[in-house]
Amino acid sequence: MKDTTSGSNAAKRSQSTAMREIIAERVKRRGFLLGSAAGLGAVAAQGFVGSLFAGTAHAQAAQSSLGFAELARVLDHDAHVAPGYRADVLVRWGDAMKAGQEPMEPAMMTSDDQAERFGFNCDFIAFMPLPKGSQGSDHGLLCVNNEYASPNVMFPGVTWDNMPDSLSDEQVRIIDASVGHSIVEVKREGDRWTVVQDSPMNRRFTMASDFAISGPAAGHPWMQTSYDPAGVLAKGTHYNCAGGVTPWGTILSCEEGAYDTFGGTVADSPHAAVLERYDYDGSDYYGRTRIEPRFDLAAEPNEPNRFDWVIEIDPYDPDSAPVKRTALGRFHHEGATVWLNSDGRVVVYMGDDSNFEYVYRFVSDGTFDPANPETGRNLLDQGTLSVARFEADGTMRWLPLVHGTGPLTPENGFADQAEVLLKTRLAADALGATPMDRPEGMEANPVTGRVYANMTKNKNITADNLNPVNTRPENLYGHIVEMIPPGTPGPETDHTAEVYGWDLFVLCGNPQAPEHGARWHSETSESGWFVNPDNLTFDPRGRMFVATDGANEIDLPDGIYGVDTEGPARALPKLLFAAPVGAECCGPCFTPDGRTLFVAVQHPGEDSESLETVSTRWPDFGTDSLPRPTVVAIQREDGDEIGT
């Protein structure tokens, strides 16, 4: 079971997914050995083998509905896409977003310049059609999270080990201007997508941007700072990982944990217990306290409480104020996928991306009327946040995080609903939620209504703390959980129900390596199986596309894999796109016509110690080119629908 009582930072860190640990794994991946103690025995011991592929016709030749010739898997300095397809560079780190801007010159970059250019480490992507309300597929706003910065491939001489001392103050400011979110107007002309450089809709959000705070925690004493005594206006966003799109034309951008942002001694903070539960370590990893005192825990003890939320942005109004919506809880938010229930209530599925953390759901109190989009404006401020508990009998229950119910009382440290939200992880602990193997992307299949949750991996899970839905010790390869609301598939699917069913969709890893304990469709190819599912999406026909993050550790590229979730080819994956070395794939996003798939290729070359030994200069490949996080547009050569 999860150790929720450990007071040791080191012990906590060993359970957390601090960015440094993730990056360190990438850097040392060449020495990684495949063998692990995980295996089918552990799965069998849990008794789930029989339920894994019920309904899958293993004996008959499966016909994947995904009509493309699979890419032969290769890990090298370049990106690769399946035969008959193309993957064009659309927008890269540093690309111009204002009229008159010249191409980026990294050596000349200033923080003011970076704040008006496309950000670093692209992650979540939303394509928001123009005009607003249309289902157009040739013109829109591309809304892209910029999760964090990789200074080792941005600045000469900088390594992960010599930071932050190796960074100048201006480089720290550039980093803070490179993260957050970028909105760019894009157009397809002929068969090419381009950025509208001088669009008035282009917009950046950075660590200097203002965010309104709404919902139950707005104005709470813990949210008040010296520069915002009312506790209603936060400054900055970063670690923006995945996200979501609302039916009223806004996007949700998720803050995935500011734990290494602050400097000082956590134990001396008035919020020490909470900060430790949220993996804060006082390391000030990027050197931010040098440039802004608010990142000093002693100087501004409430500042951390204003991060780790879900942000709502209206991309169609360039003057709109972005909002941190506290009703959606405070944790390491991976994504926030939105489902409009048949009764008009809005449901948001969210994962907390750390080892042994939880799966969450928010259900709005009010309802959305598509005929009146204004009804969505503040819908995410009032509703019920719940956390998932998975049972061994194949059911799962949503446990409400509501102040005054069960253990969520003042006697147990929850004075009001604001405190339940500010301490979401602690409240979920108290309710007995199921610890998961790092919940990343979650999406509902638009055709069936079933919800899929990617568990990317959890090397710290042991035979002693397995549970019904996390079944492999030292889970290095991850798995995908299928959550089944009552009524699926069908028009009466109820995403507000207290009890769902669940199944294990796939157990990732190499099906030819028994020690992986992988479970796929029996006809899975040598290039088709994958590890470390991160984000996912569905095409208009309800086929799943998974983006992976972590395959370089076993000398495979991260990529985009199409997978049927229904029919005889259920759980049969096919490789469509492979990223260059060092990069993960993120944010897969289709245009409404299914003819373009946008993919964020994040942190190419980040596995390098520094620019002096960089492993790839993708996508430009000039002698002095830097590797650049890039959104690519994948299309069929003949322009037809992807996967048909």
Token couple for 433:
């939620």
* Residues 237-256 close enough to bind ligand FEO by CB under 6 A: 241, 256
**Angle, vertex CA 19, rays to CA 207 and CA 257, nearest 5:** 50
* Residues 289-318 close enough to bind Ca ion by CB under 5 A: none
**Helix-strand-coil percent breakdown of the chain, rounded to 5?**
15, 30, 55
- Is residue 84 within 8 A of residue 635, CB to CB? The reply is no
Question: At closest approach, how far in Å is the CB of 493 from Ca ion?
Answer: 26
Token couple for 74:
């290769």
Q: What mask of x and - would describe binding to ligand FEO in positions 336 to 365, judged by CB under 6 A? A: -----------------x------------
Question: At closest approach, how far in Å is the CB of 533 from ligand FEO?
Answer: 11
Reference 252, options 323, 308, 342, 185; nearest CA is 323
Question: At closest approach, how far in Å is the CB of 334 from ligand FEO?
Answer: 4
Number of residues interacting with ligand FEO: please give it, by CB under 6 A.
6
Cβ proximity to ligand FEO: between 147 and 553 the closer is 147
d(CA 440, CA 354): 9
Cβ proximity to Ca ion: between 241 and 399 the closer is 241
Q: What mask of x and - would describe binding to Ca ion in positions 320 to 359, judged by CB under 5 A? A: ----------------------------------------
Token couple for 623:
């002698």
Residue partners of 341: CB distance under 8 A and separation at least 6: 347, 363, 494, 495, 496
What, of ligand FEO, Ca ion, none, does residue 585 touch, CB below 5 to 8 Å by kind? none
What, of ligand FEO, Ca ion, none, does residue 503 touch, CB below 5 to 8 Å by kind? none
Q: How far apart are the first and last CA of the chain?
A: 45
Q: What mask of x and - would describe binding to ligand FEO in positions 144 to 163, judged by CB under 6 A? A: ---x----------------
Q: Which residue among 312, 534, 539, 606 contacts Ca ion (CB under 5 A)?
A: 534
**Angle, vertex CA 218, rays to CA 213 and CA 222, nearest 5:** 115
- Is residue 478 within 8 A of residue 437, CB to CB? The reply is yes
What, of Ca ion, ligand FEO, none, does residue 429 touch, CB below 5 to 8 Å by kind? none
Cβ proximity to ligand FEO: between 269 and 460 the closer is 460
* Residues 560-599 close enough to bind ligand FEO by CB under 6 A: none
What, of Ca ion, ligand FEO, none, does residue 147 touch, CB below 5 to 8 Å by kind? ligand FEO
Reference 582, options 606, 609, 563; nearest CA is 606
Question: At closest approach, how far in Å is the CB of 241 from Ca ion?
Answer: 5
* Residues 521-560 close enough to bind ligand FEO by CB under 6 A: none
- Is residue 144 within 8 A of residue 600, CB to CB? The reply is yes
- Is residue 425 within 8 A of residue 2, CB to CB? The reply is no
Piece in contact with Ca ion (CB under 5 A), picked from 187-195, 228-236, 461-469, 547-555: 547-555
- Is residue 41 within 8 A of residue 548, CB to CB? The reply is no
Question: At closest approach, how far in Å is the CB of 549 from Ca ion?
Answer: 4
**Angle, vertex CA 546, rays to CA 543 and CA 551, nearest 5:** 150
What, of Ca ion, ligand FEO, none, does residue 437 touch, CB below 5 to 8 Å by kind? none
What, of ligand FEO, Ca ion, none, does residue 91 touch, CB below 5 to 8 Å by kind? none
Reference 36, options 509, 521, 550; nearest CA is 509
| 592 class by beta-carbon count within 10 Å (0-12 exposed, 13-18 middle, 19+ buried) | middle
Residue partners of 319: CB distance under 8 A and separation at least 6: none
Question: At closest approach, how far in Å is the CB of 353 from ligand FEO?
Answer: 4
* Residues 309-338 close enough to bind ligand FEO by CB under 6 A: 334
Cβ proximity to ligand FEO: between 376 and 582 the closer is 582
d(CA 286, CA 120): 15
Cβ proximity to Ca ion: between 281 and 549 the closer is 549
Cβ proximity to ligand FEO: between 117 and 603 the closer is 603
Q: What are phi and psi of 546, to 5 degrees?
A: -110, 135
What, of ligand FEO, Ca ion, none, does residue 256 touch, CB below 5 to 8 Å by kind? ligand FEO
Q: Which helix (H) or strand (E) holds 420?
A: helix 417-422
d(CA 368, CA 376): 6
Question: At closest approach, how far in Å is the CB of 505 from Ca ion?
Answer: 18
Residue partners of 139: CB distance under 8 A and separation at least 6: 129, 130, 185, 186, 187, 188
What, of ligand FEO, Ca ion, none, does residue 176 touch, CB below 5 to 8 Å by kind? none
Question: At closest approach, how far in Å is the CB of 332 from ligand FEO?
Answer: 7
279 binds ligand FEO (CB under 6 A): no
Question: At closest approach, how far in Å is the CB of 532 from ligand FEO?
Answer: 10
d(CA 310, CA 132): 23
Q: Which residue among 549, 558, 564, 607 contacts Ca ion (CB under 5 A)?
A: 549
d(CA 559, CA 592): 22
Question: At closest approach, how far in Å is the CB of 313 from ligand FEO?
Answer: 18
What, of ligand FEO, Ca ion, none, does residue 352 touch, CB below 5 to 8 Å by kind? none
What, of ligand FEO, Ca ion, none, does residue 284 touch, CB below 5 to 8 Å by kind? none
Reference 249, options 196, 177, 215, 201; nearest CA is 201
* Residues 221-250 close enough to bind Ca ion by CB under 5 A: 241
Identity of the amino acid at 480: I
Reference 515, options 559, 470, 475; nearest CA is 475
Q: What are phi and psi of 178, to 5 degrees?
A: -95, -10
Cβ proximity to ligand FEO: between 29 and 86 the closer is 29
Q: Which residue among 440, 558, 606, 607 contacts ligand FEO (CB under 6 A)?
A: 440
Cβ proximity to ligand FEO: between 140 and 335 the closer is 335
Question: At closest approach, how far in Å is the CB of 399 from Ca ion?
Answer: 25
Residues found near Ca ion in the complex (CB under 5 A): 241, 440, 534, 549
Residues found near ligand FEO in the complex (CB under 6 A): 147, 241, 256, 334, 353, 440
